[in-house]
Amino acid sequence: MDAEHLAVILATTLVLLGSSKHYTADAENRHVFLDWEVSYAVRSPLGVARRVITIDGRLPGPLLNLTTNDVAHINVVNTLDEPFLLTWNGLQMRRNSWNDGVAGTNCAISPTENWTYVFQAKDEVGSFFYRPSLGLHAAAGGHGPIRVNNRPVIAVPFAQPDSEFDVLIGDWYNMDVKEMRGYLDRGRDLPSPDGILINGLGPYAADFTFQPGRTYRLRVSNVGTRTSLSFRIQGHKLLLVEAEGTYTRQKHYASLDVHPGQSLSVLVTADQLPKPSYYMVVSSLFVEPELFGVANVLYAGSGGLQPPGAAPLEDLSSHNGYNRSMEQARTVRMNLTCGAARPNPQGSFRYGRINMSRTLLLRNDEAEIGGRRRCTVNGVSFAGAATPLKLADHFDLAGVFAVVSGRPERRRQPSLGTAVIDARYRDFVQIVFENRVPSLQTWHLDGYNFFVAGMGWGKWSPDARSTYNLVDAIYRSTVQVYPSAWTAVLVSLDNEGMWNLRSQSLDRRYLGQEIYMRVSQGSSEVPDPRDELPMPPNALLCGKAKSSKIGRA
Ligand SMILES: *[C@@H]1O[C@H](CO)[C@@H](O)[C@H](O)[C@H]1NC(C)=O
Ligand SMILES: *[C@@H]1O[C@H](CO)[C@@H](O)[C@H](O)[C@H]1NC(C)=O
Ligand SMILES: *[C@@H]1O[C@H](CO)[C@@H](O)[C@H](O)[C@H]1NC(C)=O
Ligand SMILES: *[C@@H]1O[C@H](CO)[C@@H](O)[C@H](O)[C@H]1NC(C)=O
Ligand SMILES: *[C@@H]1O[C@H](CO)[C@@H](O)[C@H](O)[C@H]1NC(C)=O
């Protein structure tokens, strides 16, 4: 290393006391180095002690605070007694499904071992979260917020808020994950959750302090097991500004729906006469009985707290049924004129004018397979493989996964399978999700955002295109599909790799509601590193790839 290079690293290395976080910079990008210890702990947010998963002893785990184009190096140390992986929900992981952290791309980190994820937040901004990806680990916590901040040279389409809060909300079970697995393995549905947490805390336990007159950005994510939630702050309006990396048309709401796995940002101005405090209320949607999570919003200097129960929570819930929820969803749109990660306007990619090369139709349902209730996608219930599909593909190992058409097949008996849809790099594809079961679904695609072009009741047909929003549809990575309804999304396949398409309901995914999409150029040539990064030098090998050599196939 020459002296000049060393000086740059020394000058930009910052070691924070008491943590192993530090930064270096190369000629182009900042590198962020983190060590995260994953461990069990006991917490009782609802008064019942249960085993949870923490990151560095915390639940929620530490904020992953990046700026566009930062390269993150996250050394995850697994002290659990089970294999473990984290995934980066909503980050695009450009050219790098190698670091996506799902069972189809990565060998798990074994107990007592560690592994370093390396990925770049390339050309993105926004609010996301990380969570465990194996089994039902995520129902035990292990999650934390991710922010990707704008580079200083790129304008943000609103006045800089005075401060920001990460608000992770989710349903919560008092039972251990093993017991939850027991229900599902015996073919039974999970019972209702026991409550709703805000930043890992039970009702009235979390506090958010506002200075009168100031404006705050709240980055809200639903990190729960399976319940759709409605978010509001008593007496305050929510100005929606961002959803999963896209700046929205700014619009005021009294409450906003946040479905499992979704993230959004709202601006809240502390413009109320200081009562002692206000409630932040998170209520469950579409389930009986209604559940409430509550936190306190305090005005600095106002003194005192509104006692629990001072206002009936029922009056602070949205009572949205499916129809009103769908109406609200249609109002969440992209701001076409502002730039996001790059200066060019978000609307400059005129997705409505691009011809679709293909329509995938993914119908989720339930079926009894081998005497057990399973969730299916086009009749196939996903069965995990001992060899990550990405490695099987890379090393040409046969018999690990089966390529499927991406359309429902007549006369197919529901069965288990390790299904992969083959897709061509740079195609522009429509994915239609059709929901055949009486509960709301949320679907998430790793590696991408998609344009949420349309939603409707009943069965989808090609004529539905006349109802699509082909101008300013929101561009996000997790979308809801209402019961007996469909949602159509459009996606530009500009990111090579093996990408997980999954239900964000942890129980449904556990029961097989997921699939992978292999986006490739279809030739047997080694991918150009400008299209896909080479296998990382630290890649873990397992299953049929255990004795393969890292690097080229
Ligand atoms: C996150 O990073 C940005 C940019 O480096 C910095 O300004 C901000 O203070 C950081 N926020 C937190 C909570 O660390
Ligand atoms: C495991 O952690 C050690 C010590 O921090 C580090 O040197 C090593 O690179 C890590 N291993 C992997 C595979 O990331
Ligand atoms: C929702 O709207 C659909 C179509 O407009 C209608 O058929 C259905 O009855 C409505 N459901 C409820 C619960 O209002
Ligand atoms: C869209 O973004 C621009 C900044 O480019 C901003 O001035 C405008 O208020 C935004 N419009 C809406 C409806 O959010
Ligand atoms: C889309 O398809 C139409 C009709 O097939 C064709 O005329 C048009 O040129 C195509 N547009 C693009 C951008 O490829």
User: Does ligand 2 have an atom closer than 6 angstroms to the CB of 114?
Assistant: yes
pLDDT at position 9 is: 39
Query: Nearest ligand, CA of residue 343?
Result: 4
Residue 526, pLDDT > 90, answer no
Q: Is 88 a residue whose pLDDT tops 90?
A: yes
Average pLDDT of the chain?
A: 94
Distance, in Å, from the CA atom of 70 to the CA atom of 51, rounded to the nearest integer, reads 34
Q: What are the DSSP calls for 387-442, one per residue? A: S-HHHHHHTT-TTS-EEE-SS--TTPPPEEE-EEEEEETT-EEEEEEEE-SSS-EE
pLDDT in the model for residue 14 = 38
CA of 311 to the centre of ligand 4 (A): 35
Nearest CA owner, ligand 1 atom 8: 65
| C-alpha distance from residue 336 to each of 80, 82, 360, 470, 475 (Å) | 46, 46, 27, 12, 11
For ligand 3, atom 1: residue with the closest CA:
323
Q: In the prediction, which pLDDT does 294 show?
A: 98
Q: Is 149 in the pocket of ligand 1 (CB under 6 A)?
A: yes
**CB 67 less than 6 A from any atom of ligand 1:** yes
**Is any ligand 2 atom within 6 A of the Cβ of residue 33?**
no
pLDDT at 8 over 80: no
Q: How far apart are CA 238 and CA 241, in angstroms?
A: 9
Q: What pLDDT sits at residue 10?
A: 35
Beta bridge partners, 294, equal: 281
Expressed in angstroms and rounded, the spacing between residue 339 Cα and the centre of ligand 4 is 10
> Alpha-carbon distance 83 to 78, whole Å?
8
What confidence tens digit (pLDDT) does each residue in 471-492 have? 999 999 999 999 999 999 999 9
Q: Is the CB of 405 under 6 A from ligand 4?
A: no
pTM over 0.85: yes
Ligand that lies nearest to the alpha carbon of residue 76, given by its number in the listed order: 2
Which comes out higher in pLDDT, residue 318 or 517?
517
Ligand 2 atom having least distance to the Cα of 113: 1
Reduced to 3 states, what is the DSSP secondary structure of residue 181?
helix
How far apart CA 545 and CA 547 sit, in angstroms, is 6
Tokens of 143: 């999650």
First to last CA, the chain: 32
Atom of ligand 4 nearest to the CA of 339: 5
Handedness of CA 52, 53, 56, 60 (dihedral sign): negative
Query: In this structure, are residues 105 and 498 in contact, taking their beta carbons and an 8 Å threshold?
Result: yes
The CB of 458 under 6 Å from ligand 3? The reply is no
Q: Cβ(112)–Cβ(158) under 8 Å?
A: no
250 lines ligand 4 (CB under 6 A): yes
Looking at per-residue confidence, does 50 or 553 come out higher? Answer: 50
> Does residue 1 register a pLDDT over 70?
no
> Which pLDDT value is given to residue 524?
67
How far apart (Å, rounded) are the C-alpha atoms in residues 240 and 328? 12
Count CA atoms closer than 13 A to 178's CA, side-chain side: 3
With a cut of 50, say whether residue 6 has pLDDT above it.
Answer: no
Give the mean model confidence (pLDDT) for residues 293-309.
Answer: 91
Ligand 3 atom nearest to 323, measured from its CA = 1
Q: Which domains does the chain have, with CATH numbers?
A: 3-149 (2.60.40.420), 163-331 (2.60.40.420), 349-546 (2.60.40.420)
Nearest CA to ligand 1 atom 12: 65
Q: Report the alpha-carbon distance of residue 375 to residue 439 in Å, rounded.
A: 12
The DSSP letter of residue 262 is -
Ligand 1 proximity of 65 Cβ (cutoff 6 Å): yes
